[in-house]
């Protein structure tokens, strides 16, 4: 591909991003790298996570070495909850769990069902309808539990804002334990006990647990008290791991410690449903590294859950019946597990189609509306007919695209005297008496607190809840304009203009020659990565885009060059195709296996026009890249200067590179110079391949 003139490059559309590159600290980096025998890139990544001493690094890299305080000491109401549960179980009275329809709520519900049945309790559960009722326990559920003779209600991943339903339960003589992790409202419900990490010390290692984490702590504490831990710990840890990662809980404190252990259990799960889900998701475990070597022990990675297992669980709660997931995660029957896993797979495919359709409609609306984000500083988009079970996912994608907080919703007609008329065939408009409710989801950016934004609009809203990064809400349709205006007012209080771009936080600058399997396996030392412990992101300047093409559903597949040749993928970047020929890139490392060959690739998360041009590397001086075919196979080739010598490099579709210097009989063959083997290029296969490359470059060598 020929170099493009600078004026043409400027006109190309690139992701609207801001880059935050952590400053280098070479002395500390070198000390950590030498003492711990790790790459300086990994050492710099530790420093960026406020880990700068050998002792801090050793604790971070081995979270199992931390001595945890007893949960009883940390959660003030845990003792009350345990006493209530123990009494209820011993008296053979009925316990009812009220869960939620997201991955956190469903895994929490399954976890407590498994544990309570193991402990001999009489237990049942209910999950409110996402479509008809929305989030959280409600008075209908309370009344039904009472009619069914329930003695104790236990909420999981909800309840902290349900003052009226909990008050009704107490009026009916029911005991209530709330286990939740959402932000604390001004007035707490009148429950017998409340377990919420937002109510404990901010320095507690339990502070960041999700709803499934609170359920896990409660279940293990109760089993320990009843001396029935045997056979329970590992299955519950697996469910904790699934729910914690799928809910995007921070992977710090006990979350980091327990998730790291749980990821090692999942490849040989004791749960029939988890095994079936792994199979339909085509997830493969990988070897994990430690400080000195790569272990043979297999483990899943957080991305396996975040991008494969979690979405299949979440999809069910979004657009189908959560009972499918509850049965999947509580059954011991292989056939039932296989059936439920297949349903999760099919439902997730439908969810993907819905998301793609709504996302495109939302983008079209935004572009046609020509919103001035510098003026509004928030995006509020509401349309009829959108499935509110998936609009939260679309909200996240719009945040990625526009770099502003997003509040997205859909109209729902309230039941009234004209409700049936409005939905009748052939009737285009309801009467003036018809009213509408908007139900929606919100996603924020780092500088914008979603829940506080919703609180700022309290008098305009019906039900709402959430936390810093995300939330849900409902409001009368007549309040939409005021809601949009009020959110904009709140956004102006916390967002400057320079905040209105997606933030890419970068750990260190790297050269392609450093990007090898050794570095990739050392990244495992930082795992589990996720919220508040993100995967390391590196950047490289002045990278040549040799090849690029659209693959799949709008992804860009690239061949990149800077002294080495490496493949890359840019997920869902079809709108930015074609990228300029010379760019700075920000990326994560990933493994790619094709035709039995595994190579290191880049997953692009950022791209910008070059910010610095080296004196000896003007874009006009970059070697031309040519594509050619030899024996029906595709290759690329280019000519480089190595010192005073010319070097011809030929790359195949698997990423293997043959490097031959002019006048030499021995060349190098491999994915990088670090692992290349010497080959005799005078042998017929190499000789004719080299000749074909020379012809492609029109060289006279």
- Which stretch, 42-56, 627-641, 667-681, has highest mean pLDDT? 42-56
Confidence of residue 700 (pLDDT cuts 50, 70, 90): low
Domains belonging to the chain, first-starting first, are 13-61+502-612 (2.40.50.460), 71-285+298-341 (3.90.1640.30), 371-414+436-488 (3.10.310.30), 626-697 (3.30.1120)
DSSP string, 238-254: HHHHHHHHHTT-B-SHH
Asked if residue 605 has pLDDT above 50, the reply is yes
> How far apart are alpha carbons 613 and 610 in whole angstroms?
7
* Dihedral pair phi/psi, residue 289, rounded to 5°: -100, 155
Sign of the Cα torsion 195, 199, 204, 209 reads positive
Q: How much is the average pLDDT of 385-390?
A: 89
Asked if residue 175 has pLDDT above 50, the reply is yes
Q: What is the per-residue pLDDT for 1?
A: 36
Q: Which residues contact 677 (CB under 8 A, 6 or more apart)?
A: 668, 669, 670
Confidence of residue 595 (pLDDT cuts 50, 70, 90): confident
Q: Which residues contact 377 (CB under 8 A, 6 or more apart)?
A: 404, 405, 488, 491, 492, 495, 500
Say which residue, 610 or 559, is predicted with more confidence: 559
Sign of the Cα torsion 156, 160, 165, 171 reads positive
Confidence of residue 409 (pLDDT cuts 50, 70, 90): very high
Q: How much is the average pLDDT of 203-212?
A: 93
Q: How much is the average pLDDT of 394-404?
A: 92
For 611-620, the pLDDT digits (tens) are 865 434 444 4
For 245-288, the pLDDT digits (tens) are 888 788 888 999 999 999 999 989 999 999 999 999 888 766 55
The answer to whether the beta carbons of residues 584 and 539 sit under 8 Å apart is: yes
DSSP state, residue 430: -
DSSP state, residue 307: I
Query: Omega before 129 cis (within 30°)?
Result: no
| Least trusted range by pLDDT, from 400-404, 566-570, 672-676 | 672-676
| Least trusted range by pLDDT, from 296-305, 442-451, 519-528 | 296-305
For 324-337, the pLDDT digits (tens) are 999 999 999 999 99
Asked if residue 12 has pLDDT above 70, the reply is no
Asked if residue 4 has pLDDT above 50, the reply is no
For 411-445, the pLDDT digits (tens) are 876 544 333 333 333 222 333 455 789 999 999 99
Q: What is the per-residue pLDDT for 240?
A: 97
Asked if residue 152 has pLDDT above 60, the reply is yes
Q: How much is the average pLDDT of 23-34?
A: 93
DSSP string, 563-583: SEEEEEEETT-GGGPSPPSEE
Three-state DSSP at 119 gives coil
Q: How much is the average pLDDT of 678-698?
A: 89
Say which residue, 616 or 695, is predicted with more confidence: 695
- pTM of the shown model: 0.74
> How far apart are alpha carbons 29 and 41 in whole angstroms?
8
Q: What is the per-residue pLDDT for 677?
A: 85
Q: Which residues of 380-418 are buried (b: 16+ CB within 10 A; e: fewer)?
A: bbbeeebbbbbbbbbbbbbbebbbbbbbbbbbbbeeeeb
Q: What is the per-residue pLDDT for 286?
A: 63
User: Which among 243, 249, 277 is positioned nearest to 262, based on CA atoms?
Assistant: 243
């Amino acid at each position: 591909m020929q170099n493009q003139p600078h004026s043409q490059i400027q006109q190309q559309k690139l992701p609207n991003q801001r880059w935050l590159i952590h400053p280098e600290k070479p002395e500390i980096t070198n000390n950590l790298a030498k003492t711990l025998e790790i790459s300086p890139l990994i050492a710099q990544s530790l420093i960026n996570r406020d880990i700068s001493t050998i002792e801090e690094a050793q604790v971070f890299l081995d979270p199992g070495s931390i001595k945890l305080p007893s949960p009883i000491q940390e959660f003030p109401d845990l003792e009350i909850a345990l006493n209530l549960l123990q009494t209820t179980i011993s008296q053979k009275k009925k316990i009812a769990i009220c869960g939620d329809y997201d991955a956190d709520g469903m895994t929490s519900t399954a976890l407590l069902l498994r544990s309570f049945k193991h402990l001999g309790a009489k237990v049942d559960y209910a999950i409110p309808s996402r479509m008809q009722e929305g989030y959280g326990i409600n008075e209908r559920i309370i009344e039904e539990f009472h009619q069914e003779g329930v003695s104790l209600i236990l909420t999981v991943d909800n309840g902290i804002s349900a003052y009226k339903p909990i008050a009704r339960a107490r009026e009916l003589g029911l005991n209530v334990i709330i286990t939740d992790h959402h932000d604390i409202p001004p007035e707490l419900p009148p429950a017998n006990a409340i377990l919420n990490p937002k109510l404990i010390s901010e320095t507690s290692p339990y502070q960041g647990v999700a709803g499934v984490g609170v359920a896990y702590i409660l279940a293990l504490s109760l089993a320990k008290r009843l001396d029935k831990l045997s056979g329970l710990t590992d299955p519950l840890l697996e469910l904790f791991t699934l729910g914690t990662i799928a809910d995007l809980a921070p992977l710090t404190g006990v979350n980091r410690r327990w998730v790291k252990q749980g990821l090692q259990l999942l490849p040989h799960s004791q749960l029939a449903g988890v095994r079936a889900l792994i199979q339909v998701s085509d997830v493969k475990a990988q070897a994990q590294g430690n400080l000195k070597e790569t272990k043979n022990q297999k483990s899943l990675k957080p991305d396996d859950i975040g991008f494969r297992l979690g979405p299949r669980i979440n999809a069910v709660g979004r657009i189908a019946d959560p009972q499918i997931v509850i049965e999947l995660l509580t059954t011991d029957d292989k056939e039932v597990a296989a059936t439920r896993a297949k349903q999760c797979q099919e439902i997730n495919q439908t969810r993907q189609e819905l998301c793609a359709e709504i996302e495109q409609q939302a983008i079209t609306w935004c572009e046609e509306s020509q919103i001035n984000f510098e003026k509004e500083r928030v995006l509020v988009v509401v349309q009829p007919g959108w499935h509110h079970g998936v609009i939260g996912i679309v909200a996240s994608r719009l945040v990625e695209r526009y770099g502003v907080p997003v509040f997205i919703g859909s109209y729902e007609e309230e039941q009234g005297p004209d409700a049936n008329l409005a939905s009748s065939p052939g009737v285009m408009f309801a009467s003036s008496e018809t009213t509408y409710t908007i139900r929606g989801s919100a996603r924020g950016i780092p500088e914008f607190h979603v829940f506080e934004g919703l609180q700022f609009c309290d008098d305009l809203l019906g039900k709402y809840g959430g936390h810093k990064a995300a939330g849900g809400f409902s409001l009368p349709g007549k309040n939409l304009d005021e809601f949009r205006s009020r959110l904009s007012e709140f956004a102006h209080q916390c967002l400057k203009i320079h905040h209105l771009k997606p933030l890419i936080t970068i750990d260190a600058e790297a050269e392609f020659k450093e990007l090898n399997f050794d570095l990739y396996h050392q990244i495992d030392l930082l795992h589990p990565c996720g919220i508040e412990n993100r995967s390391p992101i590196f950047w490289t300047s002045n990278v040549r885009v040799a090849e690029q093409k659209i693959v799949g559903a709008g992804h860009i597949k690239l061949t990149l060059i800077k002294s080495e040749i490496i493949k890359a993928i840019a997920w869902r970047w079809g709108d930015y195709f074609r990228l300029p020929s010379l760019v700075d890139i920000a990326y994560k490392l990933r493994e790619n296996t094709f035709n039995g060959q595994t190579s290191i690739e880049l997953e692009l998360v950022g791209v910008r026009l070059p910010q610095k041009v080296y004196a000896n590397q003007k874009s006009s001086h970059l070697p031309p890249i040519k594509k050619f075919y030899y024996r029906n196979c595709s290759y690329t080739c280019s000519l480089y200067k190595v010192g005073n010598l010319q070097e011809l490099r030929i790359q195949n579709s698997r990423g293997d590179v043959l490097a031959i210097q002019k006048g030499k009989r021995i060349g190098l063959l491999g994915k990088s110079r670090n692992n290349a083997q010497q080959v005799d290029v005078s042998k017929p296969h190499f000789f004719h391949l080299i000749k074909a490359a020379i012809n492609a470059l029109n060289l006279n060598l």
